[in-house]
Amino acid sequence: MAGQRNGRTVHDLRRENRAAVLQRLYFDGPMSRFTLGPATGLSSGSISNVVAELVTEGWVEEAGSVESDGGRPRTLLRVAPGRGQLIGVDVGETRVRVELFDLSLSELARAERPLNPKVHDVDTITAHIRDGISEVLDAAGGTDERLLGVGIGVPGIVAREGELGALVHGQTIGWDAVPLESLLRATGQLPASVPYFIDNGAKTLGQAEMWFGAGRGTRNAVVVLFGSGVGACVVTEDVEQGRAVEWGHLTVRVQGRRCRCGSLGCLEAYAGAEALLERWQEAGGRPPGGSDEEGALTAMLDAAYPQDGGTADPVALMVLEETAEYLGAGLSDLINLFQPERILVGGWAGLQLGQRFLTAVKRHIPTYALSYPAGRVTIDLGRLGPDAVTVGAATLPLADFFTRGGRRAAPVREAELPGWQTALEGRTPK
């Protein structure tokens, strides 16, 4: 067919060229037109055409100049940070956090809604997400005209099913095939031109660390997430965007403690923040009354590792030392299975725990991991802090923006909405 080559149309090639320029400018810019050519593999003519389009549309702007060898200074280009906006949502165990970013992922506004860790009512969380989106847009004076999409990180497995879109299978929070995307879309809060992207929270954390944090430059890595529960994201050369794995539900003790998922002996039943605090109390410890989960975990760590040189609480220390071995064994399983170059520990609980006893965890690796892969892996803390899941969620629409070469997603047709609403009947837990 005329206009096609190897199954790709001229439109496909133009989109790919635009995507190549946008991604190179985003991650390595500012750059000149002269350096964009070798960096992208495109001809000078293609670079000129693509850059002219992107500048005209406002996605690319000038960012100063640099001296050239004997000629005129070369104009530097960058992706215009204010041209678009992104929303990232973290549906955690203790809160729903919503953040609005510009294209450089600088935070413009945020909203938070607390959750009862024992109750994850679907209607409540859906309302929190909707209200949070409205709040951050209003706070920043933003409009949905610049909004490129909403990314949402959730606990559990995410699958897609026809008109229902993303279904969340969150066994630990009582969600069975919850059509979260359709529930949000059915409200009509955002126009059909604004897409939703929903994925596992550990995967969004992993993508954030690989793009902007401690994983940059690494081809094979595992990013682990510690919150109330435990999860992980595996990034390999075959799966560059990462794959969520239910590491927290790996069996570490046969006939062990009952996990939130209902199974026995899961790692999460020993190493998640919720389980840690329960084990401390069961062993005779005294978590502070009235504290939320984050405050209680801080108190436990302070008791086990006093900063003022005081006497350690033997019960808290015993539980944490036992947990260090469970984590050492769990990380060893990841090392043996995936042989990563790097393991990164993140999540609010992971950062707290890692700062205090990551060294103790590492001491158990030689006991449980094969020596060859264990000798070639580094284990470090993530760099993006406790908000990394939200940042990672915002990278979902950003990645789609790159894939489309700076074109907006096609609007959802209004005719599809009744089908969604019909399909929702009987699918949402009460």
Q: What is the per-residue DSSP string for 284-296?
A: T--PPTT--HHHH
Give the gyration radius of the chain's Cα atoms: 24
Rounded Cα–Cα distance for residues 383 and 133 (Å): 26
Residues in Cβ contact with 407 at an 8 Å cutoff, skipping those fewer than 6 apart = 15, 18
Distance between CA atoms of residues 154 and 201, nearest Å: 5
Report pLDDT for 144. Answer: 67
Taking only the tens place, the pLDDT of each residue in 254-271 is 988 999 888 999 999 999
Query: Angle of helix 273-282 relative to helix 293-304, nearest 10 degrees?
Result: 60
Q: How far apart are CA 242 and CA 338, in angstroms?
A: 12
Q: Tell me which DSSP letter residue 369 carries.
A: S
- In this predicted structure, what is the pLDDT of residue 7? 66
Q: pLDDT (tens digit, 9 = 90+) per residue, 368-387?
A: 999 999 999 999 999 988 88
Residue 429, pLDDT score: 40
Question: Which stretches of the chain score pLDDT less than 50?
Answer: 1-4, 414-430
Which is nearest to 86 in space by CA: 6, 8, 26, 1?
A: 26
Tokens of 178: 């919850």
